[in-house]
Amino acid sequence: MTGFGRAEASTGGVVITAEARSVNHRHLDVAMRLPRTLASFEPDLRRLVASRVERGRVDVAVQVGPAAETPPQRVRMDAALAREYLDQVRAFAREVGMEGEISLGWLLERPGVMRMEDIEPAEGSVWPALADAVGSALESLVKARTVEGQVLTVELRRLLGELGTEVETIAARAPVAVSRREERLRERIRTLLGEAAVDEARVLTEVAIWADKTDVTEELARLRSHLAQFAAALEKGGTVGRSMDFLIQELGREVNTASAKSDDLELSQSAIAAKAILEKMREQVQNLE
């Protein structure tokens, strides 16, 4: 299922922005894009995503920036390094017999004494804000997926109704197919034997053997059972994508078996129509969690 969510959280003078996107996928596949400073939180974020989403390709992107009232960088003064410069320069001056004053300006120009640093949140406050931002983005994503799921449910109900109609057509056609087979067999015998006597018992035996080979009673019973389970899953809602995947696979197996047994044009046409409907259902179920 597709969806998008975006959220922000503030801490320690910075704003954490999280975006979550999802597209269809048979399993849960999570991709993370995090700033270097937040890389250590990736395992925790993956667990957070897995707690909210069970299926789909989910891309999570996190950015860290300064709050509106906070400058993006701050000045850092390294007093220990400055003293080290002073001590070393004064010792060198004594060694070579030179005198002179060291200005503050010269000292501030030394590498590392004064530097600019990006503002980063305090370590202890990062995870609560990060979890809040990503969690809120995921909540928005789940809401979008829920709306899409409601639309897909309506479509799946329609397809399920069409599939049920084809199954009942197969059920109604099966006895007629046996009768037509018997009639064709008798017609061939009359063509071959003319007015000669026909062994009625033999004819009935052949018809019974053929009827047994082409009997789809068990397949129809399983088809109806799977259709009922699919309908129940639609009514139940929730995370039903995988179970529906399995049911469609089983429905397809039973339709294929019934089609292979058929010796009737209309029955075969209904089986082909049922396969086409199942393929549409399969495509839609891939969008469900």
The pLDDT, as a whole number, for residue 240 is 75
Sign of CA dihedral 182, 187, 188, 193: positive
The better pLDDT of the pair 240, 251 is held by 251
Q: State the Cα torsion 249-254-259-263 to the nearest 10°.
A: 180
Please report, for the chain, the start and end positions of each structural domain, with discontinuous segments joined by +: 3-70+123-140, 73-118, 146-285
The three-class DSSP label of residue 76 is strand
Q: Which whole number is the average pLDDT over 82-97? A: 85
Mean pLDDT of the chain: 81
Rounded Cα distance between 282 and 160, Å, is 11
Give tens-digit pLDDT for 19-75: 999 988 778 899 999 988 888 899 999 999 999 888 888 999 999 877 655 555 667
The better pLDDT of the pair 27, 254 is held by 254
Count Cβ neighbours within 10 Å for each residue of 56-89 and write b for 16 or more, e otherwise. Answer: bbbebbbebeeeeeeeeeeeeeeeebbeebeeeb
Q: What separation in angstroms does the CA of 72 have from each of 28, 68, 77, 121?
A: 36, 9, 17, 12
Q: Is the pLDDT of residue 210 over 80?
A: no
Rounded Cα distance between 257 and 214, Å, is 10
Q: Which whole number is the average pLDDT over 189-198? A: 61
The pLDDT, as a whole number, for residue 180 is 65
The pLDDT, as a whole number, for residue 122 is 54
Partners of residue 60 on adjacent β-strands: 20, 32
Q: What separation in angstroms does the CA of 43 have from each of 20, 34, 82?
A: 16, 12, 41
Q: pLDDT confidence of 277, banded at 50, 70, 90? A: very high
Task: For domain 3-70+123-140, give its CATH number from 3.40.50.2000, 3.90.320.10, 3.30.360.10, 3.30.230.70.
Answer: 3.30.230.70
Q: Which whole number is the average pLDDT over 223-249? A: 85
Q: Is the pLDDT of residue 289 over 80?
A: no
CATH architecture of 146-285: Up-down Bundle (1.20)
The three-class DSSP label of residue 281 is helix
Q: pLDDT confidence of 158, banded at 50, 70, 90? A: very high
Sign of CA dihedral 163, 168, 169, 174: positive
